[in-house]
Chain A
Amino acid sequence: MTDVVSPAAGIPKAKSIRRDIGIKGRYAAERRFRAYGIAALSFGIIFLMLLLWSVVSKGYTAFQQTMITMPVEFSQQIIDPQNERATNPQKLMTANYPVVARNALAKLLNASVDDRVAARAIGQMLSDGVRVQLRDLVVANPAIIGTTQTVRLLASGDIDSAYKGQIDLTVSQENRKINDQQLGWMKQLSDSGALAKHFNGGIFVNGASSRPEAAGVGVALIGSFYMMLIVLVLALPIGVAASIYLEEFAPKNKFTDLIEVNINNLAAVPSIVYGLLGLAVFVNFMGLPRSASLVGGLVLTLMTLPTIIIATRAALKAVPPSIRAAALGLGASKMQTIFHHVLPLAMPGILTGTIIGLAHALGETAPLLLIGMVAFVANYPTTPLDPSTALPVQIYMWANEAERAFVERTSGAIIILLLFLILMNVGAILLRRRFERRW
């Protein structure tokens, strides 16, 4: 460059002064601005990870439960001392099974049950749920009375927490729920292999229980299932019908505008307001039973409708007009055009929207609290009219429990809920990938 002769060679070369327009500062500002963006984005993602990690780290242990496998002597003396079970079947229902289990455990530990303090401490190591466990065994097969069977029994919630290392053992024994003697026994049992963690099927099938170790989301799963079924059966046809009308038939007039504004607003109404509506209309006015999954399903249907309508309208809009023109040109009526040609092509989009709406409905809690789904339900509901609870409501109830072991259960239930949501969303994404057409 330097050897190019300048045409104005005679003019003294002045060093070109670049005007200081603060370029450095502006680039620094640019970099800062960019960094803010990255920081904001990573903040959001970090908190997502933190949230998931906190739930999973607290909850994965809920899928394992500490159980004690031991020979239990079904002694006639304790279960049915007067030998009256033939005449009085009630006897087997009310027998003192916890003592049977306690004696078996004491025998395993070589401890004497005559020492009342020790006997109590041993009894506390077993869950209250053993009463039902042993009763079911005996009622199913009364012949086992008098024999010795190897049975796997639930350990108590405190033993479970201690065995999983969730109890701070540095605290003096008066201030914790499990004393040193019980800890010693626990160690002895786990060394001998009698006490071990097993997969916890109970959390999926059991109903409500005040004992964390025996509580499960079985009833809640059934309730949620009923509700999703009701939402699907009601919201999908009604939503699709409403969108077809609005998108294909509705004349442009005040009434149509009103419906449009309405749907947009309904999509943004706080969910708790739907709960109030359900309480006032379905429970109070129509007299449907409280706590029933039918009412919950109806409320969630109303809540999901706007989502489905908005998704369906978008899907209908995406079908190109040429399809309609072709069908109409071949002599199909407008109704035939829509039901035979447009709707099938829009179906993947509609189903995707429906699944996402259902996923939202599955996680919704607030409206269900108001219609009385906060209920202690231990028995499976057989119809949607029976009292029941729902998965997110069960989480809410457990979150309010004071006992330490319920934190684990709550997180476990959240993991189950999130798995369902992931399943539904992945299904929706796959559906979209597989069937969505770009025109």
Chain B
Amino acid sequence: MNTSLILLILAIIGIAGYVVGARYSMALVGGISSKLHSRPGYYGSFVAVWAIVPAVVILFVWLVASPMYISSSVRGAFPEDVKAQSQAEQGLSYGMISSIARGMNALTREEIARVENNPVELRTALGAKGVPLAGDPKPFMVKAAADLNTMTFVSRMLMTIVVLAASIGGAFSAYRQIAPRFRARNRVEKVILGSLVVASSIAILTTVGIVASMLTEAAHFFAAVPAWEFFFGTVWDPRFAAAGSGGSEGQFGLIPLLLGTLYIGFVAMLFAVPIGLFSAIYMSEYASPQVRSVAKPLLEVLAGIPTIVYGFFALTTVGPFLRDISSQLNGLVTGDYANFIQAQSVLTAGFVMGIMLIPYVSSLSDDIITAVPRALRDGSLGLGATRSETIKKVVLPAALPGIVGALLMTASRAVGETMIVVLAAGVAARLQINPFEPMTTVTVKIVNQLTGDLEFTSPQTLVAFALGITLFAITLCLNIYALYIVRKYREQYE
């Protein structure tokens, strides 16, 4: 029986359990529900929960555990010469066995009897059924595949029986417990509370998953490339891993990527910070409510536009515009119409990213500026300061820690931004300081290394995880520090 069918049956048992439980509880008290401890629905839910939850838990544990058990026992039965081979080759053999096993399910009984004695024929027989094999099967594989099929079949049967038994047994024992004074509601609410806890721990699981998955993959990478060569290397030249080549000849220096990331982020902040900050100041201190009610949503539209759209804008509009204007300028000054700004450059990417970041800076600082107490402003204005003096000398210093926090959060966005730099910054990893030339970033390289055909054993792809964990660490530090500052600041005025 396949898994979805089992789940369907479980659902049916659950619904039936609900109806039966609710009816039975009412019948116990002769239809006078006030004699029950809980509403009849809770008795029904109690039965349904016992019918479904344990069975589903068993089902999932079984689904995860049984393939592991089967694969290890099949591998355990490999002949000695195969066991002596490397893990990768054993993995290949196992892959072949499982495709043979899949194919054998499509063959008839007579055909299986024939190929069992003659494994060479197997490949053609399976090919005819639409299951291609990578190589000629060895005799032990046919037997192993047959074993695999038997074990899978037995495991499936057992699983179906155990899960359905658990479901019916759970429902029955819950049904037996129903009595007028039985506290069904409390029991059901406990289960609900448990599921709420499970849901909220998914947040933790995600973080654990991010860190664990990236650390394990990065550890594989650092096994092939020394960590200090990665963190302090100044040359990024991963080479392509052709199948079969050793693969670790490339150079994986983080420094050019990191500098590119920081440089582009810096240029972006150079545009975003003054514009965002001045917009925030204008909107919170000067603008009339009408202007504010129009301008604020308009700026926030900028935050709602997907970054791929910014990337396209940079690629097709801003980049060519900067290139052409630079060649015109050059022509006016020197008479030589060569462009000195490349279409893909630090400036292009930084500028467009700066536009993207304006709403982050402005809305975060707007909140913070508005939170500065009225009394501070009134005091300053009362002493005769102009508005701008009040803002510069009183409001901004008071809001400064919060604004710094907001800017740090914005900076972490700039560091982690991907689509704009993928389309507008270029792919050449170079160490240079000219903002008119292309540079590349950590995120661009993650995308480059992981799109296309990949093989998860070469450092060329695994390096993406090392880059990812670096990125994660940088943004995490920025964010935690920013949160810390913002929180501390908030307490000041509360």
Q: Does A244 contact B (CB under 8 A)?
A: yes
Q: Does B13 contact A (CB under 8 A)?
A: no
Kindly identify which residue among B310, B358, B409 contacts A44, using a CB–CB cutoff of 8 Å.
B358
Kindly identify which residue among A250, A275, A281 contacts B200, using a CB–CB cutoff of 8 Å.
A250
Q: Which residues does chain B contribute within 8 Å of A417, judged by CB atoms?
A: 306, 309
- From 322 to 369 in chain A, residues with beta carbon under 8 angstroms from any chain B beta carbon are 333-335, 359-360, 362-366, 369
Known: A366-B447, A392-B308, A395-B308. A270 touches B418 (CB 8 A): yes
Rounded to whole angstroms, the CA-CA distance of A38 and B275 in the bound complex is 10
Q: Does A118 contact B (CB under 8 A)?
A: no
With both beta carbons as reference points, the residue of chain A lying nearest to B201 in the complex is identified as A259
CB <8 Å contact, B419 and A396: yes
CB <8 Å contact, A40 and B279: yes
CB <8 Å contact, B193 and A41: no
Q: Does B391 contact A (CB under 8 A)?
A: yes
Q: Which residues does chain A contribute within 8 Å of B299, judged by CB atoms?
A: 41, 44-45, 48
Q: Does A410 contact B (CB under 8 A)?
A: yes
Rounded to whole angstroms, the CA-CA distance of A418 and B312 in the bound complex is 13
Rounded to whole angstroms, the CA-CA distance of A305 and B299 in the bound complex is 25
CB <8 Å contact, B278 and A273: no
Interface of B, helix, strand, loop or mixed by DSSP:
helix
Nearest-Cβ distance from residue A317 to partner chain B, whole angstroms: 15
Nearest-Cβ distance from residue B66 to partner chain A, whole angstroms: 14
CB <8 Å contact, B301 and A48: yes
Chain A contributes a number of interface residues (CB within 8 A of B) equal to 87
Nearest-Cβ distance from residue A215 to partner chain B, whole angstroms: 16
Q: Does B471 contact A (CB under 8 A)?
A: yes
CB <8 Å contact, A38 and B282: yes
Q: Which residues does chain B contribute within 8 Å of A275, judged by CB atoms?
A: 450
Nearest-Cβ distance from residue A63 to partner chain B, whole angstroms: 17
CB <8 Å contact, A245 and B386: no
Q: Does B355 contact A (CB under 8 A)?
A: yes
Binary flags per residue of A254-287, CB closer than 8 Å to B gives 1, else 0: 0000110111111011111111110111001100
Q: What are 6 residue pairs bridging A and B, where the CB atoms are less than 8 Å apart in the complex?
A: A245-B193, A262-B207, A272-B443, A365-B418, A366-B419, A395-B312
Sorted nearest first, the 9 A-B pairs with minimum C-beta distance are A270-B416, A37-B282, A363-B306, A40-B278, A241-B199, A280-B213, A33-B388, A242-B200, A245-B196
Instruction: Please report B residues at the A interface, Cβ cutoff 8 Å.
Output: 185, 189, 192-193, 195-197, 199-204, 206-207, 209-210, 213-214, 216-217, 274-279, 281-283, 285-287, 295, 298-299, 301-302, 304-313, 315-317, 355, 358-359, 362, 386-389, 391-392, 409, 412-413, 415-419, 422-423, 443, 446-447, 450-451, 456, 464-465, 468, 471-472, 475-476, 479-480, 483
Instruction: Please report A residues at the B interface, Cβ cutoff 8 Å.
Output: 26-27, 29-30, 32-34, 36-41, 43-45, 47-48, 50-51, 54-55, 58, 237-239, 241-246, 249-250, 258-259, 261-266, 268-277, 279-281, 284-285, 302, 305-306, 309, 333-335, 359-360, 362-366, 369-370, 372, 374, 392, 395-396, 399, 407, 410-411, 414, 417-418, 421, 425
